[in-house]
Amino acid sequence: MTQEQWNAVDDYVTGLLAPGDEALTAALRDSEAAGLPAIAVAPNQGKLLHLLARVQGARSVLEIGTLGGYSTIWLARALPPDGRLVSLEYDPAHADVARANLARAGLDPIAEVRTGAALETLPALAAEGAGPFDLVFVDADKRNNPHYVRWALELTRPGSLIIVDNVVRGGAVTDATSTDEGIVGTREMFDLIAREPRLDATALQTVGTKGYDGLLLARVIG
Ligand code: SAH
Ligand code: DHB
Ligand code: MG
């Protein structure tokens, strides 16, 4: 298996089932023009997030890690007109690009980007009584994944869905001796979820234009 084959299959699937439109294309174009790293979810992954939000019947979504708002657009488009999405982003430059991309997509009435370190904006959200959110997408600094899952539990209800991106990282997740902060954080997160009776979870390995990685899904139970 080669990266070229993975790309060809992603292009095939995306072309038929997740072609995207002007707002999504422009979001990626303007993110690149602004110098943001090209680490948004792939189009077929964005479509998966959208479908999961629809299946979930989500009316409210919390995203941790906005970048240019590409995944945000896919998720916000799954919400009803009176739905609400809050996306948390550390970098003010990323947040500015994302807000412009969401406005162009017509999603600014329902999607809000909050700037700051998520470990500061999450307690603020909880303090103002936000939530419970029906779906949480965790996709920020991987070192803090265990903290983000703990906060996601605080801000959800039984039946909510928590999704975590980038949990495999080329297979490095199995390396118990890794000193990579992201791997250490992700492994702590797996241990936490395994021990947490309020979460029922699995993870899947993925290949595609984003290389070899994976996605974790956790359902909040009573
Ligand atoms: N979800 C996006 C990609 C997010 S990339 C998409 O798929 O389109 C990860 C983002 O998390 C980056 O924009 C980075 O600036 C942000 N980030 C990193 N550390 C953070 C923190 N402590 N709090 C909030 N956001 C953070
Ligand atoms: C990185 C972050 C992501 O969220 C992702 O999907 C891919 C790569 C990164 O920080 O390298
Ligand atoms: Mg990611």
Domains along the chain with CATH numbers = 3-220 (3.40.50.150)
In what helix (H) or strand (E) does residue 74 lie, and over which residues does it extend?
Answer: helix 70-76
Distances (CA, A) of 135 to 38, 125, 143, 156: 24, 15, 21, 8
Q: How far is the CA of 148 from the centre of ligand 1 (A)?
A: 12
State which of 10, 31, 39 you would mutate to test the pocket of ligand 2, scoring each by most atoms of that ligand within 8 A of its C-beta.
Answer: 39
Mean pLDDT of 180-202: 98
Q: pLDDT, tens digit, for every residue of 198-209?
A: 999 999 999 999
Q: How far is the CA of 37 from the centre of ligand 1 (A)?
A: 10
Q: pLDDT, tens digit, for every residue of 16-75?
A: 999 989 999 999 999 999 999 999 999 999 999 999 999 999 999 999 999 999 999 999
- When pLDDT is cut at 50, 70 and 90, the band that residue 1 belongs to is confident
